[in-house]
Amino acid sequence: MTGVYGFYKNQGKNKIKCAHYQKEANPKQLGKRFIQMIINKSKKDLDTLFDTLILVQEDDKLTNIHYNTIKHLLQKSFKKTKKNSKKDYNKNMYPINYNFMRAKHNNIKQYINDLNNNGLRLFLDAKNYLKQSHLIDWVYIYNLDTSQLEIYYKKKNRQEKLTNNRPIYEHINQHFNLIQTLDYKNINESNLDIIYNIIYDKNFNG
pLDDT in tens, 74-84: 766 655 544 55
In a domain, 22, yes or no: yes
Q: How far apart are CA 7 and CA 143, in angstroms?
A: 6
In a domain, 176, yes or no: yes
Three-state DSSP class for residue 101: helix
Helical segments of the chain, H only:
32-38, 43-52, 64-77, 86-93, 101-106, 108-117, 127-130, 168-175, 189-204
Determine the pLDDT at residue 26.
86
* Exposure letters 52-91 (e unless 16+ CB within 10 A, then b): ebebbebeeebeeebeebbeebeeebeeeeeeeeeeeeee
In a domain, 67, yes or no: no
Three-state DSSP class for residue 113: helix
Determine the pLDDT at residue 46.
92
Determine the pLDDT at residue 83.
56
In a domain, 141, yes or no: yes
Residues of the chain with pLDDT under 50: 81-82, 206
In a domain, 62, yes or no: no
In a domain, 109, yes or no: no
Q: How far apart are CA 182 and CA 166, in angstroms?
A: 26
Determine the pLDDT at residue 146.
92
pLDDT in tens, 98-111: 888 888 888 888 88
In a domain, 191, yes or no: yes
Determine the pLDDT at residue 82.
47
Domain of residue 36: give its range. 3-56+123-204
- In this structure, how many other beta carbons lie within 10 angstroms of the beta carbon of residue 190? 7
84: phi then psi, degrees, rounded to nearest 5: -85, 110
